[in-house]
Amino acid sequence: MRALVTGCGRRLGFYLCQQLVADGWQVTGSYRSERPELAQLQALGVELVQADFCDAEAVDRLIQRLAVHQDLALVIHNASAFEPMSADPHQQLAQFEQFYRVHMAAPFQLNQALSPQLAAHDNASIIHLTDIYIHAPAPQFASYVASKAGAHALAMSFARELAPHIRVNTIEPGPILFLDEHSAQWRQHVLAKTPLAREGGLEPIWQAVQLLMTNHYMTGASIRVDGGRALAVI
């Protein structure tokens, strides 16, 4: 069987591709920008497709590439854009449009176009990666969080529309893997308000993916993987 992982070039997407290959899956990964990690995925046999999700035509080209793969049985929407709200009001709409394209419009295109292929297989699954902050949006990340909340609503709508042939669920990560630009002070601040008091790493997300892939009776579900951080922010 084949899986599509979007945003495969780094961090979580890169890791999920590795785990799926090790688990016996054929994998297609989409990426926006060239990165050194892509050579490693290519060496593993991952089919790589460049696609800027801000461009609807690029998403259509990805769909066309996937059309030949009648073994497609899993889609993981991992591609993400993230930055604080710009202080320049003229840039804020452009930011919102970018987040909307990456987190909502492109997944909508993919789900709509790929659902006939997915429905041909027993236990086909779509998984959207969202964020625990969809339940407690911070003003400085308003556009990002709003589009991630939209991705959640989109997933729930598809869960109803595509049942019983395709299951659609979401995973809500918390402090899984800090960014390089996060200072030691910021990391301490976040972990102090996380009940398990540690960075999660990428493996807990893979474990949640495995659950959603294999449990035949889960659709329209959301799994928080956050060390309990949502308890402090919601």
133 catalytic per annotation: no
Catalytic residue among 31, 133, 144, 217: 144
Length reported for the chain: 234
**Alpha carbon distance 2, 17 (integer Å):** 11
Q: Is-contact 63 38, C-beta < 8 A?
A: no
- Residue spans of the domains in the chain: they are 2-233
Summarised one tens digit per residue, pLDDT across range 6-17 is 999 999 999 999
Q: Find all residues with CB under 8 Å of 93, minimum gap 6, and list them.
A: none
Summarised one tens digit per residue, pLDDT across range 143-174 is 999 999 999 999 999 999 999 999 999 999 99
Whole-prediction pTM value? 0.96
Give me the CATH topology for the region 2-233: Rossmann fold (3.40.50)
